Amino acid sequence: MEAPYVSLVIPVMNEIENVRPLYDALVKAIEAIGRPTEMVLVDDGSTDGTVESLEEIAAEDPRLKLIVLRRNYGQTAAMKAGIDFASGEIIVTLDGDLQNDPSDIPMMIEHIENGYDLVHGWRRNRQDTFLTRKLPSRCANWLISRSTGFPIHDLGCTLKAIRADIAKELELYGEMHRFIPILAHMRGARCIEVVTKHHARVAGQTKYGLGRTFRVVLDLMTVSYLQRYFASPMKLFGMVGLLSAMISVAAGLGAGAMKLFASVDLTGNPLLWLTMLAGIASIQFFSLGLLGEVNARIYYAQEGRRNYTVRRTLNYGLAPRVLNTEPSRSKAA
């Protein structure tokens, strides 16, 4: 069979009612693409018969590659597994609930072929409930855009097309699949956001809720740190340590002046306590900076690791190709 040009990566969990309609929609998209394409479906711990349904389809169509994870690791880990096992030059990610429209895929691939490295969808007419889905998403997108300086309308859209060499370099964990455009941009990828179609869920149960919003905010803090200080943690911790040292010196001078010129008893004096507290804090922050620098260098030297384990695969003859490229040490753009 001819090597695939496009790999469609779809994480699924308990989507038995959507499996066959999803497959039919993907086949139509493949026909529109007109290039060799594989479908990489990653089952993330389904318990409703989704795996068995996918196995039946995989037995009929060798273009469908099935990866079954040992347990539910979450969407990010499942997506990372699919990316690692994908063998196409272009990787397209989308949800398995049919809310993303596979008919948008040829348009996104065309943008990749025109020179972009990553194309991410914008669900401008999103078909979800306003209070529990659309409003939190808009607030999160605004916060992320302001925090990272990366202009985007819809970071939560799973429908994306990305060059395989960039996708395989990305380290995805936690809820980091949402930040793929930002992580790719940090590596110099040329990104573009395009309007895509979005449909209301017609079968199955959503796996998203308000609780995920808080986890996304925590991951945003991680991404902001990675974006600014990961290559040189001392720039953050050293700056805070220097500020603490300056406060300690200033408080110490003030306490000393009160003792020398005003004969003030320094027992329990707040400035004396501030001098000691800020001095200790400065030492701790400088130590954290040094430890961060050492850990960053260990990270850059180590081989890549995976945050998932695979139980079995179908229609795969070889292990996945995982790039081991040393990340750039220069400041992210």
> In the prediction, which pLDDT does 88 show?
93
* pLDDT at residue 122 tops 90: no
- Residue with token string 């859209």: 157
Least confident range of 177-191, 243-257, 272-286: 177-191
- Chain mean pLDDT for the chain: 83
Write out the two tokens for 311: 């139980």
**Separation between Cα atoms, residue 302 and residue 299, nearest integer Å:** 5
Mean pLDDT to the nearest integer, 291-316: 69
Q: What is the pLDDT of residues 163-185, one digit of tens each?
A: 999 999 888 877 788 889 988 88
* pLDDT at residue 92 tops 80: yes
Neighbouring-strand partners of residue 161: 92, 119
Task: Give residue 114's pLDDT band: very low, low, confident or very high (50, 70, 90).
Answer: very high
**Separation between Cα atoms, residue 75 and residue 177, nearest integer Å:** 8
Q: Outline where DSSP puts E strands in 34-79.
A: 37-43, 64-69
Q: DSSP letters along 149-161, please?
A: ----S-TT---EE
> In the prediction, which pLDDT does 314 show?
78
Task: Give residue 145's pLDDT band: very low, low, confident or very high (50, 70, 90).
Answer: confident
Q: What is the pLDDT of residues 187-242, one digit of tens each?
A: 888 999 999 988 776 665 665 555 566 677 777 777 777 777 777 888 888 899 99
**Separation between Cα atoms, residue 15 and residue 84, nearest integer Å:** 22
> In the prediction, which pLDDT does 294 show?
82
Q: What is the 3-class SS of 255-310, one letter each residue?
A: HHHHHHHHCCCCCCCHHHHHHHHHHHHHHHHHHHHHHHHHHHHHHHHCCCCCCCCE
Q: Yes or no: say if 122 and 159 are a contact pair by the CB < 8 Å rule.
A: no
pTM equals 0.71
Q: What is the pLDDT of residues 42-64, one digit of tens each?
A: 999 999 889 999 999 999 999 99
For residue 139, which of 214, 82, 237, 77 has the smallest C-alpha distance? 214
**Separation between Cα atoms, residue 102 and residue 84, nearest integer Å:** 21
